[in-house]
Amino acid sequence: MTKWKSIQSLLTDETADMLVPVELGPRNVGYNIKADGADWDGGQWQRLETRFKLFVALLESGQWSGAAYVSQLNIDEIPPLKADVQLPIPHAPDLAAPPNLWIGSADTYTPIHRDILGHNLLFQVLGSKVVRVFPPSEKPFLYISEEPWLRNTSLIPFDHGFDADRWPRFREGVKVWYEATIEPGDAVFIPKGWYHSVRALEESISVNSWFL
Ligand SMILES: O=C(O)CCC(=O)C(=O)O
């Protein structure tokens, strides 16, 4: 992974024409934007499949004013990059699933949610991200959705919910959370069942892996 000095550096003859799912949406707003029922003129998230080289070209062109994200892409779907990812790490327990790639512009925001697959290690390869982690005890204050399409995910679509009047239980109720800015070479451990949100401060590459 130390070879990955930029998003451009992932582009090779082998990866250029691979189809990848790309999410396009407003900056610093989660894919759960519609769920809060508010009128929002910043656009909504859309998902399309495109060649990896076109995704890289879009980021480089600066033509897209929103955020763009290849998120949670199973590394098995992009075999040329798999050899660069040295997992499992020595002495770690078994992986619950193959590692995932997260490749995005600045200002992607993954809203508060919890994973179901196990403990999580999120490795930062390029750029920096702000990760907030909340223990399961804080669930009553996180506005977790009951809707099947948003299961395990908060209805709060922004990172600054602490200030927002519309989420009083969040602002007043949450007592325990941890926050870190992760940079290349850092990893954050997210215990199974703990809620977390992730905001990219810059163009970013991360790899995550769930452990049993
Ligand atoms: O990096 C991100 O945007 C989200 C990562 C995440 O939610 C995870 O690893 O479970």
Out of 23, 72, 109, give the residue to mutate to test ligand 1, the one with the largest number of ligand atoms within 8 Å of its CB.
72
Q: What is the pTM of this model?
A: 0.92
Q: Which domain holds residue 192?
A: 8-211
| DSSP secondary structure letters along 97-116 | S--EEEEE-TT-EEEEEE-S
Q: Is residue 3 part of a domain?
A: no
Show the ligand 1 pocket: residues with CB < 6 angstroms: 102, 108, 110, 115, 120, 122, 129, 196, 198, 206, 208
If you average pLDDT over every residue of the chain, what do you get? 89
| Index of the ligand 1 atom closest to the CA of residue 206 | 1
Give residue 149's pLDDT: 79
What residues are paired with 120 via a beta bridge? 190, 210
Give residue 90's pLDDT: 60
111: domain CATH number?
2.60.120.650
pLDDT, tens digit, 9 for 90 and up, residues 170-185: 988 999 999 999 999 9
Of residues 71 and 165, which shows the higher confidence score? Answer: 71
pLDDT, tens digit, 9 for 90 and up, residues 81-110: 888 887 656 666 677 778 999 999 999 999
| Rounded-to-integer distance, Cα 47 and Cα 50, Å | 10
Q: Is residue 44 part of a domain?
A: yes
| Rounded-to-integer distance, Cα 84 and Cα 98, Å | 13
Mean pLDDT of 187-204: 97
- CA–chain centroid gap for 199, Å, is 7
